[in-house]
Amino acid sequence: MIETIDLTKKYGDFCALDALDLRLDRGDLFGFIGPNGAGKTTTIRILSTLLAPTWGEAYVCGHSIYTHPRDIRRAIGYMPDIFGVYDDMKVIEYLEFFAAAYRIGGTERRRVAERSLELVDLVAKRDELVTSLSRGMTQRLGLARVLLHDPQVLLLDEPASGLDPRARIEMRNLLKRLQGMGKTILVSSHILPELADICNRVGIIEYGRLLACGDVQDLLARVRGRPTLRIRVSGSPEAAARELERAPEAAAVTVRDGEVVVALADGVTDHAPLAARLVAAGHGLLGLREQETNLETAFLELTRGSLAPPPDGA
């Protein structure tokens, strides 16, 4: 559904997007992850035909951004991170106005607007003024707007930006529902935990370069390394660490934030001998857990020292 080949965007000597090769299949919910200024918005604007690349190629639904931009615009729904609304319109009027822009006419226009409201759970606000909506509701209205023409592909730039925790949960649930309808969704964010639970694939980008791309679990496996335990004891963690340093099951032992951190030796999967050793030595065992590697940890590990920042002033 989406493919980029050597896609590059330069502004003078500054490279905003550096030879991006990316492929999304039908039904993917793809998380495009990176800090502000990494190249996420540049990519989305090129895919939506609003920005021309310096070189490279991109296809959306089989259409080239160079030769068939109109076909691409019919096939996508693009929601920028900041978009304007007409405050003096009612919610239903706002959607009907944009439905008319999509050349949806007559009774079909009202039906399509009502359907979009149902999809984003805003039916109760249909006759309210747009200016009365909360930030979260405004974001959902923006999503309803891009769904009016039933696009195959959704390009969503930071859709959860500025939302409170409840509104973020609602947005995540809505994206999962849209994926269930067969939509292909590219959603960008710099808030990593937002995407870990909903995306089947993610791409990590920094300084315009795609550092990693694939299944979430595959990326986590790349950086997980040795299994690591975090152990809390009632007495001195330093004394407990010295005891565990003599255990054959431990490859490395440190104390961090009041906990004993143990990297297990190769092939060790049973934690019981370590717990038994501590108890036998008189240490009270308060907790033992395996340290998880989440998407945020993976991002920090994958980007650590891998790229040099752009020159000053770029």
Q: Where are the domains of the chain?
A: 2-222, 226-292
Q: Which residues contact 157 (CB under 8 A, 6 or more apart)?
A: 40, 41, 44, 78, 79, 80, 81, 188
In 3D space, the residue among 140, 121, 120 whose CA is nearest the CA of residue 130 turns out to be 140
In 3D space, the residue among 303, 271, 302, 305 whose CA is nearest the CA of residue 288 turns out to be 271
Q: CA 37, CA 229: separation in Å to the nearest integer?
A: 36
Would you state the pLDDT for residue 296?
63
The correct answer on CATH 3.40.50.11810 for the domain covering 226-292 is no
Under DSSP, is residue 261 helix (H, G, I), strand (E, B) or coil?
strand
Sheet holding 55-60, edge to edge: 14-24, 2-11, 55-60, 63-64
The strand pairing partners of 155, in sequence order, are 78, 186
Would you state the pLDDT for residue 76?
96
Q: Classify domain 2-222 by CATH number.
A: 3.40.50.300
Task: Spell out the per-residue pLDDT of the chain, length 314, in tens.
Answer: 999 999 999 999 999 999 999 999 999 999 998 888 889 999 999 999 999 999 999 999 999 999 999 999 999 999 998 877 787 899 999 999 999 999 998 889 999 999 999 999 999 999 999 999 988 899 899 999 999 999 999 999 988 877 788 888 888 889 999 999 999 999 998 766 667 778 889 898 989 999 888 887 777 666 555 678 999 999 899 999 999 999 999 988 999 889 999 988 888 878 899 999 999 999 999 999 887 656 666 666 666 544 445 544 44
pTM greater than the 0.85 cutoff? no
Would you state the pLDDT for residue 305?
46
Q: Do 226-292 and 2-222 have the same topology in CATH? A: no
| Cβ neighbours around 198 below 10 Å, total | 18
Q: CA 286, CA 24: separation in Å to the nearest integer?
A: 46
Helix residue ranges per DSSP H, the chain: 40-47, 69-75, 91-101, 106-119, 135-146, 165-180, 193-196, 216-224, 237-245, 272-280, 295-303
Would you state the pLDDT for residue 166?
84
CB distance 133 to 125 below 8 Å: yes
Would you state the pLDDT for residue 314?
40
Q: How would you classify the pairing of strands 29-33 and 184-189?
A: parallel
**Token pair 């195959």 in the structure block, residue:** 152
